[in-house]
């Protein structure tokens, strides 16, 4: 079967949230969580992974509240860990493997220590450790500055700059892909304003380093060696904090590892699940 946005798309009403998901396949459940970039959705972050993973797994790619087609939310009320818990309850899923890119990686880690009884494994790509680094940028990185500009002026040219800074090699990014991203941001001004209101006031995902060390679930950390958004030192720190973890650091790779190196990512995820 050919999986498309249209034939995988549906809305789920949880206790507190209206959450859009793209759902495909059957078997052990995997939940995919996108990053915080302008126009980010479960499908835009994982369309290169869903068809492959859905051959063996029940894949759910969620738009978090405040992104995509899901319910708007102010930065003060943002609680992606709580929203994920409600989504799993509504879908009747007891335990899942959570896979998250960037902001989604932070939610993955937070969910792992807040609700350990609901996770089988944790997988992150380009996740922040929630603390400052020795070798990364002080303040906002180059990538985060362009990301924020994408919310302020979601033009085609800004989206092209965003794709360029998120990747090592942006040759895969067609004009149609860039325009679709710009159109998604422009169609949800309420999401844009809520995100901008939170800049400097609250981290997109807040992590407690001491609680991260309590995670017992098998954890696979991915990071691009050339990530200009979140420095790979963040995953080195997570590696030192999470006892049962391992790190895959990929050269010639930016922040969108699961897109730039989709085949390798899909293979390593399947191998990790099969052995853990």
- Give the orientation angle of helix 103-114 with respect to helix 80-91, to 10 degrees: 70
pLDDT at 69: 95
Q: What is the mean pLDDT of the chain?
A: 93
Rounded distance, CA 99 to CA 139, Å? 27
Given a cut of 70, whether residue 131 has pLDDT beyond it is yes
Given a cut of 70, whether residue 137 has pLDDT beyond it is no
Given a cut of 70, whether residue 134 has pLDDT beyond it is no
Q: How confident is the model at residue 140 (pLDDT cuts 50, 70, 90)?
A: confident
Q: Residues with Cβ < 8 Å from 72, sequence gap 6 or more?
A: 65, 66, 188, 190, 191, 194
Q: Which two tokens stand for residue 265?
A: 């990512």
Q: Candidates 3.40.50.720, 3.40.630.30, 3.40.50.1820, 3.40.30.10; correct CATH number of 5-275?
A: 3.40.50.1820
**Tell me: the pLDDT tens digits for 6-63?**
999 999 999 999 999 999 999 999 999 999 988 899 999 999 999 999 999 999 999 9
Q: What are phi and psi of 60, to 5 degrees?
A: -125, 110
Q: What are phi and psi of 262, to 5 degrees?
A: -60, -45
Mean pLDDT of 72-81: 93
Mean pLDDT of 206-228: 96
Given a cut of 80, whether residue 144 has pLDDT beyond it is yes
Catalytic annotation, residues: 255
Domain extents in the chain: 5-275
**Tell me: the pLDDT tens digits for 153-163?**
888 999 999 99
């Amino acid at each position: 079967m050919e999986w498309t946005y249209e034939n995988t798309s549906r809305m789920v009403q949880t206790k507190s949230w209206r959450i859009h998901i793209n759902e495909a396949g059957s078997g052990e459940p995997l939940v995919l969580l996108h990053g915080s970039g302008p126009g980010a959705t479960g499908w835009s972050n994982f369309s290169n992974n869903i068809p492959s993973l859905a051959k063996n797994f029940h894949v759910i790619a969620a738009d978090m509240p405040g992104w995509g087609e899901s319910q708007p939310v102010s930065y003060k009320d943002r609680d992606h860990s709580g929203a994920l818990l409600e989504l799993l309850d509504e879908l009747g899923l007891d335990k899942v493997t959570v896979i998250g890119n960037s902001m989604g990686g932070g939610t993955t880690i937070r969910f792992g220590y807040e609700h350990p009884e609901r996770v089988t494994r944790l997988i992150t790509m380009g996740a922040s450790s929630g603390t400052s680094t020795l070798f990364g940028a002080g303040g906002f990185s180059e990538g985060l500055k362009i990301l924020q500009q994408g919310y302020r002026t979601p033009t085609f040219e800004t989206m092209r700059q965003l794709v360029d800074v998120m990747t090592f090699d942006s040759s895969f990014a067609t004009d149609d892909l860039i325009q679709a991203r710009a159109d998604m941001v422009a169609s949800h001004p309420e999401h844009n304003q809520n995100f901008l209101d939170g800049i400097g006031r609250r981290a997109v995902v807040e992590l407690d380093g001491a609680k991260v060390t309590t995670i017992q679930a098998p954890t696979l950390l991915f990071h691009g060696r050339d990530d200009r958004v979140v420095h790979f030192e963040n995953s080195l720190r997570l590696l030192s904090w999470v006892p049962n973890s391992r790190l895959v650091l990929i050269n010639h790779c930016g922040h969108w590892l699961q897109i730039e190196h989709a085949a390798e990512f899909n293979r390593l995820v399947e191998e990790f699940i099969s052995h853990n």
